[in-house]
């Protein structure tokens, strides 16, 4: 771990709909301290993060094209992009000509042999059941030595009811497109509607895996982090900071 960030606080932006829903409250909070901001994938241009993490080149290309249609740069000037070592340089350079960082990580599931999230120092590599970009960003921030890790937009895939997601009353993603997890993986609207019960159970299963990873961070590494916006990971939610009434 580094010591240069030991007195600095970080806010990690997940891509959940809450960063749009509570945008003004979040931006007001950011002005209360000199936070370092880490963005995870497509955060809709809500803020310009100091570090912007993209751990999947396919997702990076897909979201770059989607944001381009809205006139939003996929990476804003002033940000330092962070990509996985496996992300393709050709795709990165198609949308970003500046400097960027790379980290090495092998994502596994909790069913794998020795799945426990860790940093292998001799290989300079992250390894284990990090599950998604947000979890790896938390662990990366911990490794960077930040004194306090706050998170917004880590709503969870099953935070909203399947009914509200289907009618786009609520959304999994800051783009406001309802049940985006399966749409972005090629499922048609018809397929999602016909199989919503089965698909929603899969979302709940994914959230259980993420919660297991978050609990592991807390119990095994004593990582000091809290989620400031409404989330399905309730044990990590601290409503006292932003004072959001989510009822």
**Per-residue pLDDT tens for 93-121?**
999 999 999 999 999 999 999 999 999 99
The answer to whether 15 and 40 have CB atoms below 8 angstroms apart is: yes
The average pLDDT across 9-21 equals 96
Q: What is the mean pLDDT of the chain?
A: 93
Q: Which of 234, 232, 230 is nearest to 242 (CA)?
A: 230
Q: Which residues contact 13 (CB under 8 A, 6 or more apart)?
A: 19, 37, 38, 39, 40, 43, 46, 47, 49, 152, 153
| pTM passes above 0.85 | yes
Q: Sign (positive/negative) of CA torsion 53, 56, 59, 64? A: positive
């Amino acid at each position: 771990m580094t010591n240069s960030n030991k007195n600095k606080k970080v806010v990690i932006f997940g891509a959940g709909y809450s960063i749009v829903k509570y945008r003004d409250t979040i931006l007001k909070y950011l002005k209360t301290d000199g936070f370092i901001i880490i963005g995870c994938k497509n955060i809709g241009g809500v803020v310009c993060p100091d570090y912007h993490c993209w751990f999947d080149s396919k997702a990076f290309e897909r979201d770059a094209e989607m944001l381009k249609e809205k006139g939003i740069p996929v990476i804003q000037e002033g940000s330092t992009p962070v990509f996985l070592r496996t992300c393709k340089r050709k795709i990165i350079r198609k949308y970003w000509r500046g400097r960027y960082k790379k980290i090495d990580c092998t994502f596994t599931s909790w069913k794998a042999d020795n799945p426990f999230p860790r940093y292998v120092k001799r290989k300079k590599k992250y390894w284990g059941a990090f599950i998604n970009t947000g979890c790896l960003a938390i662990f990366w921030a911990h490794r960077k030595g930040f004194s306090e890790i706050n998170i917004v937009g880590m709503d969870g895939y099953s935070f909203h009811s399947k009914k509200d997601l289907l009618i786009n009353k609520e959304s999994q993603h800051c783009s406001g497109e309802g049940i985006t997890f399966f749409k972005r993986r090629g499922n048609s609207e018809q397929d999602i509607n016909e199989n919503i019960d089965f698909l929603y159970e899969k979302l709940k299963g994914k959230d259980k895996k993420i919660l297991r990873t978050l609990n592991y961070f807390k119990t095994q590494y004593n990582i000091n982090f809290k989620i400031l916006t409404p989330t399905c990971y309730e044990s990590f939610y601290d409503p006292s900071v932003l004072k959001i009434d989510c009822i």
